[in-house]
Amino acid sequence: MNGLSRIRLTYYYPVLFVIFLALVLNVHKISMTGGPLTLFSVNSFLLAFYLGPIMSGQKQRIDDLARTVRSEGLAMLSVMVHDRELSDTHRAEIRKLIRQYVAACSRAHQPGEGEREYERLLAYCLEIEARDKGAQKVIDTLVANQQNRGQIATLLRGAVYSHEWVVLLVLFTITISYIVLIDYGNSIPLTVVAALLCAGLTLLLLILQKLNSLTHKRAKQVWEPFDRLLSSNLTQID
């Protein structure tokens, strides 16, 4: 799945269309009336009913992750403002630790990877608190930011469950099988539409997988505040 996730979605559709067109043209057809047709209708409804909310949930997960990452980026900028009240030595050390933390997050695109760096940053601020009164505001900002970090960790764990994938794949396989097996007579337009429909449904599952694994273009943009913060020497997130 990880290898497939790195391929651009626009490359999938023509390949899938050709594959399904060949299947529709060559697979032995059966006539569907009554019970089989009703079963196909029910299965199609269940697939749409089940896939829609899961797809929406993953899109919302990415939107929430983007907002939370941006909020943490703003928290780091806030620390840079508050540390001006510190002595030059302490300010330089704190900014070095912040840079290490942001670099770890930016490199891995997973804030959990910067856990040790964040702990070192907070521990250093607590260590100098008694000697430098300006450290209190920095500590307050870092402690408040823990909520963002917890939210990010929760969102990163919010992938589609394995049993949900099983249900989706079963419904998808049944739907595709029906579309391929239906007898369209000698109608070329209907045959082409059937291949397009199969390719479209398959692409929907691939999009869901990319959203779920955070490899979709929309998901990759989530981490831009960290990347921008690092490239601007901790001065901007936009």
The residues, ordered by sequence, that sit 6+ positions from 149 with a Cβ below 8 Å of its Cβ are 72, 111, 118
The residues, ordered by sequence, that sit 6+ positions from 220 with a Cβ below 8 Å of its Cβ are 109, 214
User: What are 125-169's pLDDT values in tens digits?
Assistant: 999 988 888 788 889 999 999 999 889 888 988 999 999 999 999
Encoded amino acid at 73, one letter: G
Dmax over CA atoms of the chain, in Å, equals 86
Banded pLDDT at 2 (limits 50, 70, 90)? very low
**CA-wise closest residue to 228 among 118, 122, 141, 103:** 103
C-alpha to C-alpha distance for 90 and 138, rounded to whole angstroms = 11
Over residues 204-233, mean pLDDT: 88
- Quick one: DSSP state of residue 182? B
Against a cut of 0.85, is the pTM above it?
no
Which of 45-49, 109-113, 209-213, 225-229 is least confident? 109-113
Q: Are 2 and 213 in contact (CB under 8 A)?
A: yes
In the predicted structure, residue 61 carries a pLDDT above the cut 50: yes
Domain definitions of the chain by residue range? 63-159+224-232
The predicted structure's pLDDT at residue 217: 85
Where are any strands of DSSP class E within 8-78?
none
The residues, ordered by sequence, that sit 6+ positions from 99 with a Cβ below 8 Å of its Cβ are 230, 234
Mean of pLDDT over the chain: 87
C-alpha to C-alpha distance for 206 and 203, rounded to whole angstroms = 5
The predicted structure's pLDDT at residue 6: 57
